[in-house]
Amino acid sequence: MEQWQRILQKSITTFDDLRQHLDCDNTALREVIANFPMRINPYFLKLLKKPGDPLWKQAVPDENEILDTVCIKDPLAEEDLSPVPNLVHKYPDRVLFLVSNQCAMYCRFCTRKRKVGTDRMVINGATLEAGYEYLRQHADVREVLLSGGDPLLLQDKEIEKILSQLHAIPSIEVIRIGTRIPSVLPMRITENLVTILKRYHPLYINTHFNHPREITKEAVLACNMLADGGIPIGCQTVLLKGINDNPEVLRTLFLSLLKMRVKPYYLFQADLTSGTNHFRTSTKKGIALMRDLYGHISGMAVPTFALDSPGGKGKIPLTPQYIIETGNSLKFNNYLGEVCTYPEAGEGI
Ligand SMILES: *Cc1c(COP(=O)(O)O)cnc(C)c1O
Ligand code: SF4
């Protein structure tokens, strides 16, 4: 067994483990865990400081998860948009392919909370083969996003098998892996894994960091190994109430990501996922946070603030409104709030 597997094996997964390690004696959490699985591995456990801290809130179950009466199970209609199980075909040229039902930690705000880590998510040789077959038949799909669960929690051999199957389909031009491994179990990024991933370029990784405290020396090492393998790394952060809905926290997070060669890609408005209502912020707040970033820090460090439309209607960018007036010239505010104008083509200057 590899080191990362031994670490994972020592995870906190039951209410009794939780009570023992984290002094949580709210018995309602027993029911929370029965509904939504928990896994706090020893690496992430060490990063938790006290109840309510930004990392704690991401990992430790909360009674609010079973009190949520507002949100819905499958807000992005992924099940309706799956022509074969575990393959979501929403956009014309790219698909989301779920290849693992396990994660190194079960984020309490997970958008696929309805099934990740449970037997409601069935992935096996037959579902994978059905996915490959669908992709062989649909040459308009040029990019496959592997997700789950976390694809990098599979064994090296399984990862290699999936990548080689996809690589052999001529219409697939790019493979993208969505993984939270660099922030929740960075020691899973091994030399052997990087050697495998490198064989399937162009291969992109989109990872997931939500708070600067997740950027440990182990996380930096993992991202360096991937970047040295020639793998471009993006980050998909989720905007979470009481965790990172703060200008200083976001600025530090995005600048720190950039320093370890991870390009902030999306900042997501929270989905309407059942059990996660207590993490939602207003879109107005998110847009105001973006205004504090644009121009003030490197454009390389600024992600797109995105809302994934309910019902599977696709992502849209939510951007601060800089335009004041259109017409013969464009009147707008710059990042400092100063009023500027730009004459349109054909107009006098
Ligand atoms: C988010 C998403 C994608 C990828 O969208 P990008 O904007 O290219 O990152 C693809 N398929 C599904 C179903 C998605 O939810
Ligand atoms: S790592 Fe991703 S898929 Fe897994 S629990 Fe967290 S948000 Fe969900």
The model's pLDDT over 242-275, given as tens digits with 9 standing for 90+, comes to 999 999 999 999 999 999 999 999 999 999 999 9
CATH of the domain at 49: 3.20.20.70
Kindly state whether residues 189 and 304 are assigned to the same domain: yes
Kindly state whether residues 54 and 96 are assigned to the same domain: yes
Residue 40: phi and psi, rounded to 5, are -115, 105
- Full residue range of the structural domain in which residue 333 is found: 323-349
Q: Is the pTM of this model over 0.95?
A: yes
Q: What residues contact 27, with CB distance under 8 A and at least 6 apart? A: 15
Kindly state whether residues 103 and 23 are assigned to the same domain: yes
pLDDT at site 23: 82
Kindly state whether residues 269 and 343 are assigned to the same domain: no
CB of 196 within 6 A of ligand 2: the answer is: no
Look up residue 219 and give its amino acid: A
**Atom 6 in ligand 2: residue holding the nearest Cα:** 107
Contact predicate 147/175, CB 8 Å: no
SS3 175: strand
Kindly state whether residues 229 and 341 are assigned to the same domain: no
Interatomic CA distance for residues 39 and 170, integer angstroms = 38
Interatomic CA distance for residues 61 and 68, integer angstroms = 13
Q: For the chain, which ranges sit under pLDDT 50?
A: none
Kindly state whether residues 275 and 344 are assigned to the same domain: no
Kindly state whether residues 335 and 192 are assigned to the same domain: no
CB of 107 within 6 A of ligand 2: the answer is: yes
Cis peptide before 149 (omega within 30 of 0): yes
Q: How many domains does the chain have?
A: 2
**Torsion angle, alpha carbons of 172, 174, 179, 183, to 10:** 170
Kindly state whether residues 345 and 285 are assigned to the same domain: no
Contact predicate 8/104, CB 8 Å: yes
Q: Which of 150, 236, 238 to mutate to test the pocket of ligand 2 (most atoms within 8 A of CB)?
A: 150
CB of 106 within 6 A of ligand 2: the answer is: yes
Beta-bridge mates of residue 309:
314
Contact predicate 115/138, CB 8 Å: no
**Atom 7 in ligand 1: residue holding the nearest Cα:** 315
pLDDT at site 205: 98
Per-residue tokens: 279 = 């993490």
Beta-bridge mates of residue 12:
40
CB of 279 within 6 A of ligand 2: the answer is: no
pLDDT at site 25: 83
CB of 264 within 6 A of ligand 2: the answer is: no
Residues in the chain: 349
Q: Which helix (H) or strand (E) holds 235?
A: strand 233-238
pLDDT at site 319: 97
Kindly state whether residues 308 and 342 are assigned to the same domain: no
Kindly state whether residues 333 and 310 are assigned to the same domain: no
DSSP 77: -
Kindly state whether residues 217 and 347 are assigned to the same domain: no
Report CA(112)–ligand 2 centroid distance (Å): 7
Report CA(123)–ligand 1 centroid distance (Å): 20
Kindly state whether residues 180 and 283 are assigned to the same domain: yes
pLDDT at site 347: 76
**Atom 1 in ligand 2: residue holding the nearest Cα:** 180
Pick the atom of ligand 1 nearest to 78's CA. Answer: 13
CB of 115 within 6 A of ligand 2: the answer is: no
